[in-house]
């Protein structure tokens, strides 16, 4: 089974409680279950992680780069300004899919730009948590 990391950035641990009109009622625990279950169906060993600490995320991206592990990344707020996260993403040696639960282009102007998109293989926005499953399906087809 191929390993895939699903990495979630700041505030995503509060899914279900944080702005449900924007992010829905799915909790982070529900998201983990969804991704791991979809992964099993696709023959992927999916590990879902979440952190509010930028250095931890960079360490996980370095791990993925060193081990050639594909990544599904929701960088959350870091998407819009963290050159450090972008630089860590640029070192990945396997596929990267950037995912956002909400349609960032229908939101505040500062959310319209991603520093990560330029180094991602694909970007999925605005499809809710289904975007994660779509990213995993695409990665399963890349093996």
Distance, in Å, from the CA atom of 47 to the CA atom of 41, rounded to the nearest integer, reads 14
Active site residue 28: no
80 in a known ligand binding site: yes
Annotated catalytic residue: which of 100, 112, 113, 132? 100
Burial group, residue 22, by CB count within 10 angstroms (0-12, 13-18, 19+): exposed
Collapsing DSSP to helix, strand or coil, 81 comes out as: coil
Q: Is 101 annotated as contributing to ligand binding?
A: yes
45 is in an annotated binding site: no
Task: Identify the three-state secondary structure at position 96.
Answer: strand
85 is in an annotated binding site: no
| Catalytic residue flag (residue 100) | yes
Distance spanning both ends of the chain, measured CA to CA: 10
Q: What value, to the nearest 5°, has the Cα angle with vertex 33 and ends 78 and 121?
A: 45
User: What are the residues whose beta carbons fall under 8 Å from the beta carbon of 81, sequence distance 6 or more?
Assistant: 115
Which positions are catalytic?
Answer: 23, 100
Binding residues: 74, 80, 87, 101-102, 111
Binding residues for substrate, by number, are: 74, 80, 87, 101-102, 111
């Amino acid at each position: 089974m191929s390993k895939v990391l699903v990495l979630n950035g700041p505030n995503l641990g509060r899914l279900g409680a944080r702005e449900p009109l924007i992010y829905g009622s799915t909790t982070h625990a529900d998201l983990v279950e969804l991704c791991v279950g979809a992964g099993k169906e696709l023959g992927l060993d999916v590990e879902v992680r979440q952190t509010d600490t930028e250095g931890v995320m960079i360490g996980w991206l370095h791990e993925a780069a060193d081990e050639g592990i594909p990544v599904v990344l929701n960088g959350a707020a870091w998407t819009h300004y963290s050159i450090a996260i972008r630089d860590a993403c640029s070192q990945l040696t396997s596929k990267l899919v950037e995912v956002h639960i909400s349609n960032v282009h229908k939101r505040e102007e500062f959310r319209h730009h991603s520093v990560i998109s330029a180094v991602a293989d694909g970007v999925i926005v605005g499809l809710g948590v289904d975007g994660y499953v779509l990213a995993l399906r695409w990665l399963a087809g890349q093996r």
